[in-house]
Amino acid sequence: MKRHLLSIDDLTREDIERVLGRAESFAEVSGREIKKVPTLRGRTVINLFYEASTRTSSSFELAAKRLSADLVSVKAAGSSVDKGESLKDTIQTLSAYDPAAIVFRSPHAGAAGLVARWTRASVINAGDGKHEHPTQALLDLYTLRRRVGRLEGLNVWIVGDVLHSRVARSNILAFGRMGCQVTVCGPPTLIPRGVESLGCEVRTTLDDLGEADVVYALRMQHERMAGSFVPSLREYATRYQIDGRRLAPNQLVMHPGPVNRGVELSAEVIDSPQALITHQVESGVVVRMAVLYELLAGGPPADLMQGHAPLSAEASEPQPA
Ligand code: ASP
């Protein structure tokens, strides 16, 4: 694997298979009472978030802690960024701690790539503007494969605000690389021009939604919309909301969160057993453990077994009640 994970394009199909396999083995660790292995003991991971996050930041924190890394979490609000420190200076300052990895989120497309030029640490893109969110795509692949048992040949429809979505971009690449057939669907104003070149088909109505095995709904990204892209949210929901009427019983539903309940998904769909949304959140921890592992400690299978040994013999024993 390359030193940084900035885009799904940094990964071959074999790399993706390895991350998913590694995540499977970490799922076993997550089932233990003490969910911790010593793999990254003595190494430092910095979480640097310049944009709101619940799932991504908390799961990266848990992932680093479960690998026994020393973790520093910095949010833009309350840091020296508020005092006018530039991104480059912030990265140089944090690099003085000799981190093994910097997990970076920014509202600006391409910012993670810049950070990678300014530090010796491995940089993991945790979402950069409209560009990419590769670990989201990896955890989606993992969740779906666990549920269905395979990825090859699945028909995935990505529905909604494709234009402003880094998740859409990473997922078109990731699903495609794993042999899925990908279609994006949304109002023409929310479909980026030329998106087909990423390897997907484009539809502007849900008329053929029945052909999908998986419906991946996207959030309407108000914070990235400078103008008005749909007449109203109500009108959007009328034409594009995934609800019980539109969804067939054999179709699965995914969403990266946070969901606008009643806009892109109806409440009944969110709460139905067809929705994998909470499984996606759960997968976030093991998949991010696997990414940290692959970037910082990846090696032959023998190393893996060593890295997965419990912290101590007693530590994995069930504790008396
Ligand atoms: N949580 C995802 C992201 O950070 C999706 C979203 O915000 O709609 O891109």
Domain extent listing, the chain: 8-133+283-313, 135-279
Residues lining ligand 1, judged by CB closer than 6 Å?
127, 133, 166-167, 219, 221, 256-257
What local confidence, expressed as pLDDT, does residue 299 receive?
A: 59
What local confidence, expressed as pLDDT, does residue 304 receive?
A: 41
What local confidence, expressed as pLDDT, does residue 233 receive?
A: 87
* Interval between CA 168 and ligand 1 midpoint (Å): 10
Domain 135-279: give its CATH code: 3.40.50.1370
Spatial CA neighbour of 277 closest among 295, 291, 302, 260: 260
Q: Which atom of ligand 1 is found nearest the CA of 166?
A: 9
Residue type, 230: V
Q: With 80 as the cut, is the pLDDT of residue 284 above it?
A: yes
Average pLDDT, the chain: 91
Q: With 50 as the cut, is the pLDDT of residue 321 above it?
A: no
What gap in Å lies between CA 6 and CA 104, rounded to an integer?
Answer: 10
Residue whose CB lies within 8 A of the most ligand 1 atoms, among 49, 136, 190, 218, for a mutation test: 136
Averaged pLDDT, 242-271? 96
Contact 40, 29 (CB under 8 A): no
What local confidence, expressed as pLDDT, does residue 96 receive?
A: 96
Please state, in angstroms and as integers, the Cα–Cα distance from residue 234 to each residue in 160, 206, 231, 239, following that order.
14, 16, 8, 9
Q: Which atom of ligand 1 is found nearest the CA of 51?
A: 4
Averaged pLDDT, 122-148? 98
* Interval between CA 132 and ligand 1 midpoint (Å): 10
Averaged pLDDT, 177-190? 97
- Say whether 274 sits in a helix, a strand or coil: coil
Spatial CA neighbour of 179 closest among 146, 150, 201, 208: 150
Please state, in angstroms and as integers, the Cα–Cα distance from residue 120 to each residue in 11, 43, 218, following that order.
20, 14, 34
* Interval between CA 258 and ligand 1 midpoint (Å): 7
Averaged pLDDT, 303-312? 44
What local confidence, expressed as pLDDT, does residue 85 receive?
A: 76
* Interval between CA 167 and ligand 1 midpoint (Å): 7
* 39 pLDDT tier (thresholds 50, 70, 90): very high
194-220: pLDDT as tens digits: 999 999 999 999 999 999 999 999 998
Contact 160, 217 (CB under 8 A): yes
In this prediction the pTM is 0.91
69-127: pLDDT as tens digits: 999 999 887 677 766 678 999 999 999 999 999 999 999 999 999 999 999 999 999 99
* Lateral strand order in the sheet of 122-128: 70-75, 44-49, 101-106, 122-128
Residue nearest to atom 8 of ligand 1 (CA): 219
Token pair 């090696």 in the structure block, residue = 299
What local confidence, expressed as pLDDT, does residue 316 receive?
A: 38
What local confidence, expressed as pLDDT, does residue 320 receive?
A: 34
> 252 phi and psi, to 5 degrees?
-100, 150
Paired residues of 48 in beta bridges: 74, 104
Residue type, 188: P
* 311 pLDDT tier (thresholds 50, 70, 90): very low
The alpha carbon dihedral of 126, 128, 130, 134 has a sign of negative
Averaged pLDDT, 179-193? 97
Domain 8-133+283-313: give its CATH code: 3.40.50.1370
Topology alike, domains 8-133+283-313 and 135-279:
yes
Q: Which atom of ligand 1 is found nearest the CA of 165?
A: 9
What local confidence, expressed as pLDDT, does residue 198 receive?
A: 97
Cβ-in-10-Å burial (0-12, 13-18, 19+) of 24 comes to middle
Quote the tokens at residue 272. 């139905």
What local confidence, expressed as pLDDT, does residue 84 receive?
A: 67
Please state, in angstroms and as integers, the Cα–Cα distance from residue 155 to each residue in 2, 42, 96, 152, 171, following that order.
29, 43, 47, 9, 13
* Interval between CA 108 and ligand 1 midpoint (Å): 14
Residue type, 186: G
